[in-house]
Amino acid sequence: MSDFKLWSWDKKPRTMLRFIKAGDIFCFKLDEQRYCFGRIIIKFMVGHVAELFDNISNSPAISEAEIKQAQRLIEPVILDSYSLFDRKSEGDWRIIGHQQNYVPTDMDGVYFTYGVQQWCKKVDIWGNKIPISEKEATSLPDVAPLGDYNIRKELLKDI
């Protein structure tokens, strides 16, 4: 039996924040012709940490096999899941499936940072905080949720 449940782009235009969970497969419009896919990794301090797949398509549909073969296009990011999926105030992002019993992998070395000067910390996706130097903090992404514009800008420079 498959661990994946996938449905069509049109089935669920909006997902309320409280129903977004780890293992959700999402799709969003990258531009007028292309769609990008990803997976919610975990609920985080200020949104949801997600991975974006290297599978870019002219259709908002993805198969279980394509998800299993997908690689990360960029490092995991923190999504502004409220604006993207619930309020739908920017872009066109939709939950199009769910992977049951999803367990995050390859999360070693995934950190975000917050704080200033001697109070800088890095935090992993599990919420473990480690004091770091201000210099080290400049090499890590901030604990800040990203919206449609920022995600598309980041992706379009890499593809």
Q: What is the C-alpha separation between 99 and 117, in angstroms, rounded?
A: 40
Interval 33-62 mean pLDDT: 95
Strands 77-79 and 93-99, how do they pair? unpaired
pLDDT at 156: 82
pLDDT at 12: 87
Query: Which residue matches tokens 């924040």?
Result: 17
Confidence band for 159, pLDDT divided at 50, 70 and 90 = low
Q: What is the C-alpha separation between 128 and 108, in angstroms, rounded?
A: 12
Q: What is the per-residue pLDDT across 133-152, written as a single tens digit (0 to 9) for each?
A: 999 999 999 999 999 999 99
pLDDT at 147: 96
- Residue 1 pLDDT exceeds 60: no
Confidence band for 107, pLDDT divided at 50, 70 and 90 = very high
- 43, β-bridge pairs: 48
The pTM for the full model equals: 0.93
Interval 85-113 mean pLDDT: 94
pLDDT at 29: 94
The larger pLDDT score, comparing residue 82 to residue 1, is at 82
Q: What is the per-residue pLDDT across 2-37, written as a single tens digit (0 to 9) for each?
A: 789 999 999 988 999 999 999 999 999 999 999 999
pLDDT at 94: 97
Q: Is 28 helix (H, G, I), strand (E, B) or coil?
A: strand
Interval 81-104 mean pLDDT: 95
